[in-house]
């Protein structure tokens, strides 16, 4: 709080400067918050990957992984699909904002213009309400009430933070109008300057995190093959399930007492007479997999022998890397069928398009 030593124009100017010092951090925060939402809205409508639901985004990610053919990326995706989706969205949003057009700066400028205009119109509106009130001695207190409530929608400026200046004797409310306009100008210019070097780390709430919220859902992974439950609710009722299971080698499964990697999918295993060892060390028939308790018992795995071309291509294409990673071999019971080895990347991409 400050004491105004001299009256008239100086005290009004000092009041305006003090108030603008309070507005500065709130304006900064409001501009970045508004921009984060604007970017999120824009990318959701303009980037094709984000135009559908999580299943269609998953297809875009699989397409990207196949095009890149980078085993390290596949490893990240298979072990932490949720994190991979986040970083995929983050990269896409960053590329969109920091391209040669520097869209980020335009978004920030636009938000600043809108917030700044709102502050100016709050100044005018408050002045209009207060200037003709002959019945009130505490015009400044009334002006601040009006000002804070007019700004409430745009930025957070708590009225209680301005207690220290509400008792000032400011009689020339019209002059206050001009003083505020002058004191606000440097705020505008400082922010404009900051935008020139702004990057995505300038945001408290990241635009990509807002986008990712649109693709929330269940992230539980099948205990056999690691594929992600396709339910769109995080804590959904009923069992976890998905459409296409994957070869069990993707979670490192080997045939008992051998180095043969398992290329079967769990949805065909549950129709077979095979058994697996549960986490408790007992042998359980795949047909009665639920008896293994959680997490197995929380999944609905229907018998189905259809496997996506994608994973057949993946297993044969990255054969050496998978053998090294899981310390096993694709031979014996894990022999890769010749038909898998002839699958081309183009066939994989065509299947994803469907």
DSSP, collapsed to helix, strand or coil, labels residue 165 as: helix
Express each pLDDT in 289-299 by its tens digit.
999 999 999 99
Residue 9 has pLDDT above 60, yes or no: no
pTM attached to this predicted model: 0.87
Q: 139: which residues sit within 8 A by CB, 6+ positions away?
A: 130, 133, 170, 171, 173
CA distance 351 to 346: 9
- Give the pLDDT band of residue 5 (cuts 50, 70, 90): very low
Handedness of CA 244, 247, 249, 250 (dihedral sign): negative
Domain boundaries, the chain: 1-208, 248-353
Which H or E element spans position 276? Answer: strand 275-277
DSSP 88-130: HHHHHHHHHHSSTT-HHHHHHHHHHHHHHHHHHHHHHHHHHHH
Express each pLDDT in 27-71 by its tens digit.
999 999 999 999 999 999 999 999 999 999 999 999 999 999 999
Express each pLDDT in 107-134 by its tens digit.
999 999 999 999 999 999 999 988 877 7
CA distance 258 to 59: 34
């Amino acid at each position: 709080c400050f004491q105004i030593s001299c009256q008239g124009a100086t005290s009004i100017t000092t009041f305006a400067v003090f108030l603008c010092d309070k507005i500065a951090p709130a304006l900064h925060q409001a501009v970045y918050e508004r921009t984060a939402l604007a970017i999120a809205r824009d990318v959701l409508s303009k980037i094709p990957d984000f135009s559908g639901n999580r299943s269609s985004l998953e297809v875009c990610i699989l397409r990207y992984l196949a095009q890149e053919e980078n085993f390290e990326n596949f490893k990240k995706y298979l072990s932490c699909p949720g994190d991979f989706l986040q970083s995929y969205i983050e990269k896409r949003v960053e590329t969109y904002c920091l391209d040669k057009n520097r869209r980020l700066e335009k978004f920030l400028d636009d938000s600043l213009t809108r917030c700044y205009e709102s502050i100016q119109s709050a100044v005018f509106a408050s002045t209009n309400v207060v200037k003709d009130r002959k019945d009130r001695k505490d015009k400044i207190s009334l002006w601040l009430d009006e000002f804070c409530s007019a700004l409430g929608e745009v930025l957070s400026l708590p009225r209680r933070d301005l207690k220290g200046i509400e008792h000032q004797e400011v009689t020339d409310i019209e002059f206050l109008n001009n003083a505020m306009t002058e004191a606000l100008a440097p705020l505008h210019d400082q922010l404009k300057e900051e935008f020139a070097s702004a990057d995505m780390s300038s945001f408290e709430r990241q635009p990509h995190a807002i986008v990712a919220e649109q693709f929330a859902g269940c992230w539980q992974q099948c205990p056999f093959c690691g594929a992600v439950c396709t339910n769109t609710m995080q804590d959904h009722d009923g069992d976890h399930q998905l459409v296409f299971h994957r070869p069990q080698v993707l979670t490192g499964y080997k045939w008992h007492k051998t180095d043969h990697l398992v290329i079967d999918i769990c949805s065909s295993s549950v129709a077979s007479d095979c058994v697996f060892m549960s986490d408790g060390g007992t042998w359980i028939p795949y047909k009665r997999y639920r008896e293994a308790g959680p997490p197995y018992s929380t999944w609905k795995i229907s018998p189905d022998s259809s496997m996506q071309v994608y994973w057949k291509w993946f297993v044969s294409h990255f054969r050496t890397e998978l053998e090294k990673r899981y310390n096993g071999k694709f031979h014996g019971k894990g022999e890769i069928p010749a038909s898998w080895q002839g699958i081309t990347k183009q066939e994989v991409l065509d299947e994803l398009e469907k």
